[in-house]
Structure 1
């Protein structure tokens, strides 16, 4: 069973990847999407999105980081893929799942699921351009506004040479509103010869097992569930619905997150409060901490409070 940390814009950035892979047993993780339009991006852009390229394409804990692209120009996508492969990316993923209106309006992400031939062209261009030992994969939803092209897109991804496909079990129109339609992944898995990784609404071990049962997929990509419950991969692998990390361990993770800041202090404080708010849905201690921390603005004061909050 492969467990993968999902790419989530504004959430699983390098700092969060470092923290979550330091405690979770992820097989790999994927960067936030890198938007490619009409040029080959400079090194500093790639190092901003994926500083792990300076560490053999791995997080500090040794988890491989796949680089994800989003765009609609096959030649430019291919050229950027060649560059990032030369920079040390262990694999390249292509985004056909982003539901953001601004992205879709510029013909990127999930809107391309209404054009299976374009999905094919983009993946094939990248696959043909990069060395054969570098896997190329894709992430898709069940469709854009409906599921009319679900199977066409799946076959296009396979036909273009992708090594595997990750499927978020909702359309763009579904957004992130529950439920995820895990059963809709079964016909995709049955029709393809490449691996299909299931994604969507996996919040705990019970969800993971039910997703595997309904989809027929063994491998899972986990997004918000991993941020809300940092040890979710351990829970799934040990078949437990109970959190395995103690609160002191989680406090240490939060301090690591804040000490790993490379962005402006104000941004990091906001990011941390966002994360703590998510964890408060699962941990009573996080809820109590949130009621205090939400009033604190300086980053160093938050860190000091966390250090003195250990039980």
Structure 2
């Protein structure tokens, strides 16, 4: 099983839609929905996870699990119950976000120093949600160190979670390579629920090593999938041809059309250039486009410069 990671500020419903069109992804997890001290209205959940309006699926039919982040078991349980009324494919709990602003407000990875609280959160959400809706969680190896990683993993599993994703780094290690897949292996061996390895999977070879070192068959892809939209398909079906630039361009146009519809005009160019920045790791054409367009901020000029050439030089180059 290959999962598409939640990535705040990057991998939203627009990019989920486009990346799942390629194939290979079995399930997505949404960006986190921040739970503090109030019961959120349904419109907040559907704004962040609009797939809830279409059977909790992307347009390609891939299930989307909605993710909650917070530290109050009671409030999280109440919001999980409301979310459950919208028929999500499942509910995921975030114990991995390394962002300082999130951790400062007692959310995400900072909770990895409190396995007892983590257990209370997962148990409260599990009790609040109908049995047919899965409850899963995502964590890192720890906050400053890994000393309580097994305690946290066991707390999550014993509280009733059906699956655990483990990012192979601590909060202190951030996103700096490498990801320590081998340190996921003891957690995998100790738990009776599926464990999914995550972190620094950019290529098929990375996926193979992550599986071998972690002992996990299941993987979660994040930045690697953004940089190479064909990665999941290449992992799932090694015989499949690589996703060519010419095949990617229509998906970029689909992405851009949704950006123009859903994103404020002042942020539209930035969203497209953000994805191009990742794509240039895999595609020389994206590097050329990024360098040519990085100072262009007018959406119409950007659209003309990028997609106006789609049927000529760029398509032939692919």
TM-score normalised by the chain length of structure 1: 0.97
Alignment partner of 1:167: what SS? strand
Does the CA contact (< 8 Å) of 2:6 and 2:222 recur in 1? Answer: yes
Partner of 1:293: 293
Matched, 1:250 2:248: yes
Does the CA contact (< 8 Å) of 2:25 and 2:233 recur in 1? Answer: no
Matched, 1:66 2:58: no
Does the CA contact (< 8 Å) of 1:232 and 1:243 recur in 2? Answer: no
Alignment of 1:180-199 (within 5 A): 180-199=179-198
Does the CA contact (< 8 Å) of 1:104 and 1:110 recur in 2? Answer: yes
Matched, 1:152 2:151: yes
Does the CA contact (< 8 Å) of 2:52 and 2:86 recur in 1? Answer: yes
Partner of 1:165: 164
Does the CA contact (< 8 Å) of 2:66 and 2:88 recur in 1? Answer: yes
Alignment partner of 2:120: what SS? helix
* CA RMSD, Structure 1 to Structure 2 (Å): 1.2
Partner of 1:138: 137
Residue correspondences, number: 309
Provide the rounded CA distance (Å) in 2 between the counterparts of 1:47 and 1:300: 29
Provide the rounded CA distance (Å) in 2 between the counterparts of 1:282 and 1:124: 42
Partner of 1:273: 273
Does the CA contact (< 8 Å) of 2:109 and 2:140 recur in 1? Answer: yes
Provide the rounded CA distance (Å) in 2 between the counterparts of 1:303 and 1:253: 14
Partner of 1:304: 304
Greater Cα offset, 297-306 or 222-231:
297-306
Alignment of 1:25-104 (within 5 A): 25-104=24-103
Alignment partner of 1:142: what SS? strand
- Deviation sequence 1:138-174 (CA, Å, 0-9, x none): 0000000001101100110110000010000000011
TM-fit CA distance, 1:303? 2.2
Provide the rounded CA distance (Å) in 1 between the counterparts of 2:8 and 2:293: 24
Provide the rounded CA distance (Å) in 2 between the counterparts of 1:215 and 1:196: 9
Unaligned runs of 5+ in 2: none
Q: Which runs of 4 or more aligned residues in structure 1 lie more than 4 Å from their structure 2 counterparts after TM superposition?
A: none
Does the CA contact (< 8 Å) of 1:198 and 1:211 recur in 2? Answer: yes
Does the CA contact (< 8 Å) of 1:137 and 1:165 recur in 2? Answer: yes
Provide the rounded CA distance (Å) in 2 between the counterparts of 1:10 and 1:202: 20
TM-fit CA distance, 1:74? 0.6
Instruction: Go from structure 1 to structure 2 and tell me whether the alpha carbon gap of 1:132 and 1:168 turns closer, same or farther (over 3 Å shift).
Output: same
TM-fit CA distance, 1:255? 1.1
TM-fit CA distance, 1:308? 2.8
TM-fit CA distance, 1:243? 6.9
- Deviation sequence 1:268-307 (CA, Å, 0-9, x none): 2101101101111111010011122213222222222333
- Deviation sequence 1:229-287 (CA, Å, 0-9, x none): 011011111237x9711112211111111101201022121011011011111110100
Does the CA contact (< 8 Å) of 2:31 and 2:48 recur in 1? Answer: yes
Alignment partner of 1:217: what SS? coil
Greater Cα offset, 16-25 or 59-68:
16-25
TM-score normalised by the chain length of structure 2: 0.95
Alignment partner of 2:109: what SS? helix
Does the CA contact (< 8 Å) of 1:170 and 1:181 recur in 2? Answer: yes
